[in-house]
Structure 1
Amino acid sequence: MIVNYLLQIRAFDDYRMYETKLSSGQVSLWYTLMSINNKAHWQKWFTAANVVLERLSGLSRSGIVKNRNVLKQLGLIDFQSNGRKATSYQVCVLYTSDGTQRSTQSSTQDSAQRSTQDSAQNSSTLVKHKQNKTEKKKEKSSSDDSSIKDNFEKLWKLYPKKAGKKPAFNAYKRAIKKGVTNKQIQTGIVELIKHQKDKKYYPNGSTWFNQARWEDDYSDSSPEPPVLNKPVPRWMRIHQVVEACGHDKAQALVELRKEYADMTAEEIDRILNPEKYEEAENF
């Protein structure tokens, strides 16, 4: 790999001016790696011991580790650990081939002209760097998607009523993007199982995730006042069962007929949507 030292330096300066502000430690480490790679005759991968980097950059051991991680995330360098041996480094090329001729011509002019042309050519010299950033973002996005799916599978395995997995997963992804943690969701599932002993009243998985039911508060459910054996009104019972069935009216009808043999789908609909029938009766 042959690197045009002048173009690389100018592209790096453009990056610092137009893209991202770098700390003095990050700049020092980048120039140190450039110098070492120059002496190594521009090998794609070269090794550099930490003690050498410390002396040339003026950074501490922890400073080198911290700043090289930042430079890697920005797509300016790459590195690989070799165990007890010196770490391998790669300085990413920041300029493009179409910017080479322009930059070479510009270097023959006086400093004022070169400064003007540098501003106009900024987009071409940074194309390579932007490509590096795009590739790394794609890799990170792929890794994040895999991690999200793995975490959801663990929670889905814990949730007791596995119905509606795909919409549940979509709701889970939205919640994670909003800042909800896996610990919050896991705690919510555990609390549901702990306080709702009758499994037939568990909401479907899709309903539970879509309604963010990990936010349910069970603290007021105990201690409970003495039970007076007062019968629950029929309309209230309909609401309770429909809710427990995840608003699946067909399933709710099956459950309600165990208690009310004369229960019909129309009666359930009338209780849930009274305004619809009121309008019809007014005509």
Structure 2
Amino acid sequence: MNEQPNYYAIIPASIRYDKNLLKGSVLLYGEITALSNQKGYCWASDGYFAELYGVDKRSIQRWLSSLEENGYITRIVQKDGKKIVSRSIKLGDKNVSNLVTKTSYPTDKNVTTPTDKNVRENNTSINTTNNNTNNKTPSKAKPLESDLKNQFAEIWEIYPKRPRGNKKTSFTKYKKAIKDGVKHDEIKSGLNSYIRQLKSQGTDNRYIKNADTWFNQAGWEDEYTTQSSGTIGNQDLTKAYGDWDF
């Protein structure tokens, strides 16, 4: 990859404390700002990020979808027919984009070396914090069936009505995913991305996956693209897409 990361990464408070974002998305956003050029674009591939953070490409795709769903980035894809020729990531916050263009590598005189005393004090503080954290017993409470049903109802309401497929089978697959550690917001974010792709490409109802098929294939792990360069953010999809069959 030809890009060189900037010395600084920028993660504004709006992203650090956004509970709608997947945890990995926050760190990834900082990396995107460090790689963005003067126009606020980043050209790094999913493979680059995956190798950098030691995760698979699907994790990177989920993190990017989470950022895009919440309006923090826009993925711009250029295609030659069905083949993706290039993909760039544009920062959604103009204030952050302006900061990126003003940020540069600091001179040596601005970089100070900590004294041994400071290093020892910092290590002591970190070790104390780690010990306190390790002594805590993590909660292993399982979600209630009623809570799962309520969460699934939200997903079921979003899924295109034609074709929806088997609700009972879909719920069973949803429960299994949650049991395996997948977050509800991650599933919802993936479904919203799938719906945006369907709408963008004008997909005929005959080619829309049944809900039980989508859940069985872990559809939230797939990467979806749209032909437009904009982003819908957190809009209500049923309103954003007008009379499309939901």
Please indicate, yes or no, whether the TM-score normalized by the shorter chain is above 0.5.
no
The structure richer in helix per residue is 1
TM-score w.r.t. length of structure 1: 0.30
